[in-house]
């Protein structure tokens, strides 16, 4: 079956604009995770959901970052008033159940000019 | 503060050599995972270890979880150019729900033919 998909794959935006990054998890997967990854480093946890409930958002850097998963499937990570320091690869992962193996998507490369 | 310290950060070796990558922490993990990531793609799970002292083998790769569940190592025997990639360790902290993964900074391995 299809893996985790993310869109757009690349996003270039100007400082101060809002961006919305989309994650489509593997069908039927209960848990969905958002990470941010700098080049050549490991992913950094942002937030995760079980079904539509946001279980942990302690990794979100500040209140400009928010995420939702309203129907327990597709999730959107929104960054408001983007800043240059927000530039990074944003990765989504899903797992069948909590604490199961996480399968990662290809990521969205965000560049804030 | 990096919860999981990986070493070395960079490793360049010749085909046929052996190597070991280390992942250390002062925290106890309920499980620890090793991932391999290729350029432009998301991390792919290689193995999960959950029991202190556990050793798992995957062809030429040997993974070990420390007795105290604070550290792990990955040993590759007779490395091949196809082993080139970013190797990441990631752990689920014992004190958390077990879903949030904390990643190390990664080891960039290059195997030269």
Share of chain A above pLDDT 90, in %: 88
| Integer Cα distance of B10 and A102 in angstroms | 25
Q: Which residues from B are below 8 Å from A33, CB to CB? A: 99, 101
Q: Which residues from B are below 8 Å from A95, CB to CB? A: 99
pLDDT tens by residue, B34-57: 999 998 888 999 999 999 999 999
In the three-class reduction of DSSP (H, G, I as helix; E, B as strand; rest coil), residue A56 is classed as strand
**pLDDT for res A68:** 97
Share of chain B above pLDDT 70, in %: 93
Partner residue facing B105 (CB), from A42, A98, A105:
A42
Checking if the pLDDT of B1 tops 70, the result is no
Q: What value does the mean pLDDT take over residues A37-58? A: 92
Q: What value does the mean pLDDT take over residues A42-70? A: 95
| 3-state SS record for A36-102 | EECCCCCCEEEEEEECCEEEECCCCCCCCEEEECCCCCCEEEEECCCCHHHCEEEEEEEECCCCCCC
Checking if the pLDDT of B95 tops 70, the result is no
pLDDT tens by residue, A30-43: 999 999 998 888 99
Contact A93 B42 (CB under 8 A): yes
Q: What value does the mean pLDDT take over residues B7-26? A: 96
pLDDT tens by residue, A75-89: 999 999 999 999 999
Share of chain A above pLDDT 70, in %: 99
Tell which of A42, A46, A92 to mutate to test the B interface (max B CBs under 10 Å). A42
**pLDDT for res A39:** 84
A98 confidence band (pLDDT: 50, 70, 90): confident
Contact B97 A105 (CB under 8 A): no
**pLDDT for res B11:** 97
| Integer Cα distance of A90 and A111 in angstroms | 11
**pLDDT for res A101:** 85
**pLDDT for res B100:** 82
**pLDDT for res B41:** 87
Q: Smallest CA–CA separation between B109 and chain A, in Å? A: 11
Checking if the pLDDT of B97 tops 80, the result is no
**pLDDT for res B98:** 52
Contact B99 A101 (CB under 8 A): no
Tokens of A27: 């069908």
B59 confidence band (pLDDT: 50, 70, 90): very high
| Integer Cα distance of A107 and A13 in angstroms | 16
Contact B40 A101 (CB under 8 A): no
B3 confidence band (pLDDT: 50, 70, 90): confident
Q: Which residues from A are below 8 Å from B43, CB to CB? A: 43, 104
Q: State the count of interchain CB pairs (< 8 A) between A and B.
A: 61
Contact A41 B105 (CB under 8 A): yes
Mean pLDDT of chain A: 94
User: Considering only alpha carbons, which residue of chain A is nearest residue B101?
Assistant: A45
């Amino acid at each position: 079956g299809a893996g985790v998909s993310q869109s757009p794959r690349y996003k270039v935006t100007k400082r101060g604009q809002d961006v919305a990054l989309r994650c489509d998890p593997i069908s039927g997967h209960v848990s969905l995770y958002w990470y941010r990854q700098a080049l050549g480093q490991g992913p950094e946890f942002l937030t995760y959901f079980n079904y539509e409930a946001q279980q942990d958002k302690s990794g979100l850097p500040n209140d400009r970052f928010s995420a939702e998963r309203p129907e327990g499937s597709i999730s959107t990570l929104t960054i408001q008033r983007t800043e240059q320091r927000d530039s990074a690869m944003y990765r989504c992962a899903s797992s069948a159940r909590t604490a199961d193996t996480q399968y990662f998507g290809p990521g969205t490369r965000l560049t804030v000019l | 503060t990096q919860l999981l310290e990986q070493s070395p950060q960079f490793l360049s070796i010749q085909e046929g050599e052996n190597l070991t990558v280390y992942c250390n922490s002062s925290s106890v993990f309920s499980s620890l995972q090793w991932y391999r990531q290729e350029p432009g793609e998301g991390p792919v799970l290689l193995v999960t270890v959950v029991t202190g002292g556990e050793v798992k083998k995957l062809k030429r790769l040997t993974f070990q979880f420390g007795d105290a569940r604070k550290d792990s190592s990955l040993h590759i025997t007779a490395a091949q150019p196809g082993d080139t990639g970013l190797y990441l360790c990631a752990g689920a902290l014992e004190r958390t729900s077990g879903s949030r993964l904390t990643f190390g900074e990664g080891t960039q391995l290059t195997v030269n033919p």
